Amino acid sequence: MLSYQKYLSLLNRYKHILLILITLVSTLVLSSEEEKPNQRLLISSKLLLNNSGSDFTNLGDANSCCPGFTSSSGMGLSIGLNYLYPINSRWSIISGIGYNDLSSDFIVNENEIINLNGDNPVDARIEQKVTSTLSAIFLNFGAEYSLTEKLDIAIGYMLSIPSDLEYQQTEKIIAPNNALFDETNSKTRTNTSGSIENSILHSLFTNVAYRLYTDSDKNSYLRPNIGYTFGLNSVNQEMSLTPNNFNIGLDFAYGLGGGNSDSDNNDGESKSNFSSELETSIPENQVIDLAFNEQSETLISNKESGASYQENPTLIIRPLLIDDKGKRQEKNFVYINEVKSKRLVPVLNYIFFDKDSTKIPIRYSSISNSETKNFNLDSLFDVSTLDIYHHVLNIVGKRMKENPNAKLKIVGTKSDDETNQNSSIIAIERAKSVQSYLVNNWKVNINRLELISAETPKKPSVGKTDESKEENRRVELYSNDENILKPVLLSDLLYRPITKEMKFYTVVDTNLNNYNWQLEINDDEGNLIFEDDGGDEPPLSLNYLLNEKLAHDISNKKRLRYRFSLIDDQNERQSLAGDFNIIVNTIDEKNSRKEKDIMVDKYSLILFDYDGYKLEKSNSKIINLIKSNINTDSKLRISGYTDKIGSPEYNKSLSEKRVQSVANEFESQNIENLYHYGETVILFNNKLPEGRFYSRTVEIEVITPIK
């Protein structure tokens, strides 16, 4: 084995390599302030394609005519156990121990003239071969860098303690088959074996690996890899042997904890930066530890002694934020998740008119001809569904310009209570109003627009109610080109609140009888977000929900500011105020942290007839569109709604039928939840006929993991 002095000499020779690795890892550790992923154990197995360098002729007492051995090749196995310690989201330290089989064969073929049958010289092919058996226990130390979420590259240093090398050197005739050596009268002239003492081997290694996760939490994975190990010194003087190898392997990695997992879910969303702050549940009947202001510390309530309360009221307010899992947040930050999203809104092909009127109502968006050039559907992503519908004539006008072969039927109708002297022409005049807008504002050729007058709509709203009559006063649009009235499909960023609720626990201690309270929440530009007020003592808890619209509105703000005030009868005010910082988990930040993400698509798509639940042909096309945009990992939340007409019980049942008719079109494994709200949730203003039509709907939210 290697002497102590020689070992020190080798360490001194390669100390610069060790210093570089130690300096690199130390720098990464000291500079990292990121949250660390899990530590991991890696069980490794590799196939080694050994390729060693050498410089020798004979070993031991062998006496061959070999000109010299300079390289070898062979195969071996390697097994190891490695420990992966993360420094940050990209860099990790790797250290381990293992076993390598470094065996290989040295082969040199040469030609030699020998006598065949004693007196017939022939040119023979001689194989000079040394078979070496060598194994080693190794220790490795290095650094690993994650190029992507799944692709890793590593470089490091390996110290190997080899066994004594066992060898066998032979010299054989391999052609012609009937040739023999004169010296031995056989095909073999040299056949000797022995062992050689080896010294410590120093090597550098590098490899590239790809992760194949075996669980949804990315806590464990298989990792195929390829690499190369380069020997830095020879292990013995007799052979000047420097083992190298190219290797192909498979690792199994298992997380040990001690850090954050690669990603935490929020409806499939990653929130690793947020997770530690959103974990504490609010226990029932919890006693709230209220934060007093400076004045409250001097307040003493002593009713038995007859002491009166202070004239100036003392205020206490404790804000509390609840996440989307119903858990209390440890920090008073408003968290918002930015995701990619598509939104599909159906185009209701009706324009509704006031009673006895042929004028297009003012709520429908009207733009001039010069403004039509800048009309862009993509700008409507953050606009409400009814506001998109109120652009129906602009949507149709733009599409008629984009599809020059399309034609449009404009059908005017009326209700049965329109019986004045103009009732005979009111339907066609309504159609003319729509035609005039498309011709004058959008410059659609009048020859492409066919006017039709009808006493009643094609599918009238039945009944004698005012709502039914209002819905029948309309113009209906039909086209030979399905592109004209197809749903509006929009793509943009969606902002989903992770913080779902703001709670304010309040206590007021005063002997004043006449006072009002007020709570205001504003953004950092002073825009009012929430406001609530009342007389006398406020409720113990004031609660406010955050929705996607609010999350969008505040996504570019830095903080929300709340102010709780008491106002006496002299209009004097005493207030307490505080801030909530706004933290947006952007797509770019999630990508930089290699967090898994989701896409959230929303389809407000199925417009049902009055009192109907069956899917029409147009709705089936939309269902097929949704199917083409989902995969086996997509999860669907299907919600059914109705308008307010009819009894709550009937509408609940009707919405359930609508939900089921849609759910039947999808695979059961894709469906996460079914909701049938009926009229308990009114989506749109039911005082408007279009609001009632759009309320007769099923909404589908599709959540798809991004791979």
Which pLDDT band, with edges at 50, 70 and 90, does 399 fall under? very high
Kindly state the average pLDDT of the residues 461-470.
Answer: 88
Which pLDDT band, with edges at 50, 70 and 90, does 227 fall under? very high
| Both structure tokens of 490 | 């929009």
CATH topology agreement for domains 347-486 and 596-706 = yes
- pLDDT top residue among 178 and 23: 178
Q: What is the pLDDT of residue 667?
A: 86
Tens of pLDDT, residues 26-53? 554 444 444 456 788 999 999 999 998 8
Across 83-87, 305-309, 687-691, which has the greatest mean pLDDT? 687-691
Q: What is the pLDDT of residue 18?
A: 53
Question: Considering only 236-245, 296-305, 404-413, 652-661, which range has the smallest mean pLDDT?
Answer: 296-305
- pLDDT top residue among 303 and 147: 147
Residue 4 pLDDT > 90: no
Which pLDDT band, with edges at 50, 70 and 90, does 270 fall under? very low
CATH topology (fold) of 4-103+136-160+199-257: Porin (2.40.160)
Give the H/E segment covering residue 63. none
Residue 176 pLDDT > 90: no
- pLDDT top residue among 4 and 706: 706
Which pLDDT band, with edges at 50, 70 and 90, does 491 fall under? confident
Residue 550 to residue 554: CA distance in whole angstroms: 6
**Angle, vertex CA 344, rays to CA 412 and CA 406, nearest 5:** 45
Half-sphere exposure of 275 (CA within 13 A, CB side): 15
Across 158-172, 438-452, 687-701, which has the greatest mean pLDDT? 438-452
Residue 284 pLDDT > 50: no
Residue 23 pLDDT > 80: no
Which pLDDT band, with edges at 50, 70 and 90, does 16 fall under? low
Residue 625 to residue 623: CA distance in whole angstroms: 5
Residues 6+ apart with CB under 8 A from 216: none
Residue 627 pLDDT > 70: yes
Q: How many residues does the chain have?
A: 707
Which pLDDT band, with edges at 50, 70 and 90, does 61 fall under? low
Residue 592 pLDDT > 60: yes
Residue 287 pLDDT > 50: no
Q: Which of 654, 661, 671 has the alpha carbon at shortest distance from 615? A: 661
Tens of pLDDT, residues 348-382? 999 999 999 999 999 999 999 999 999 988 888 77
Kindly state the average pLDDT of the residues 155-184.
Answer: 86
Residue 74 pLDDT > 80: yes
Per DSSP, what are the bridge partners of residue 73?
105
Q: What is the pLDDT of residue 96?
A: 92
CATH number of 596-706: 3.30.1330.60
Residue 115 pLDDT > 50: yes
- pLDDT top residue among 160 and 268: 160
CATH number of 275-295+310-338+494-591: 2.60.40.3880
Q: Which long-range contacts (CB under 8 A, 24 or more apart) does 480-486 make?
A: 480/406, 480/407, 481/403, 481/405, 481/406, 481/407, 483/399, 483/402, 483/403, 483/406, 484/396, 484/399, 484/400, 484/403, 484/406, 484/408, 485/347, 485/349, 485/396, 486/347
DSSP 523-536: ETT--EEEEEEEES
Percentage of the chain exceeding pLDDT 70: 83
Which pLDDT band, with edges at 50, 70 and 90, does 274 fall under? very low
Half-sphere exposure of 460 (CA within 13 A, CB side): 18
Q: Which CATH superfamily is domain 347-486 in?
A: OmpA-like domain (3.30.1330.60)
Residue 93 to residue 39: CA distance in whole angstroms: 10
- pLDDT top residue among 84 and 612: 84
- pLDDT top residue among 223 and 619: 223
Cis peptide before 176 (omega within 30 of 0): yes
Which pLDDT band, with edges at 50, 70 and 90, does 66 fall under? low
Which pLDDT band, with edges at 50, 70 and 90, does 167 fall under? confident
- pLDDT top residue among 341 and 265: 341
DSSP 385-444: HHHHHTTHHHHHHHHHHH-TT--EEEEE---TT--STTTTTHHHHHHHHHHHHHHHHH--
Which pLDDT band, with edges at 50, 70 and 90, does 229 fall under? very high
Which pLDDT band, with edges at 50, 70 and 90, does 292 fall under? very low
Residue 288 to residue 504: CA distance in whole angstroms: 11
Domain boundaries, the chain: 4-103+136-160+199-257, 275-295+310-338+494-591, 347-486, 596-706
Tens of pLDDT, residues 78-95? 999 999 888 877 889 999
- Give the torsion through C-alpha atoms of 414, 418, 422, 425, to 10 deg: 20
Which pLDDT band, with edges at 50, 70 and 90, does 238 fall under? confident
Residues 6+ apart with CB under 8 A from 267: 324, 496, 598, 703
Residue 634 to residue 625: CA distance in whole angstroms: 14
Q: What is the pLDDT of residue 355?
A: 92
- Judge if pTM exceeds 0.85: no
Average pLDDT, the chain: 82
Residue 21 pLDDT > 60: no
Q: What is the pLDDT of residue 17?
A: 55
Q: What is the pLDDT of residue 461?
A: 87
For tokens 């390598």, the residue is 100
Kindly state the average pLDDT of the residues 386-412.
Answer: 95
- pLDDT top residue among 17 and 291: 17
Q: What is the pLDDT of residue 300?
A: 27
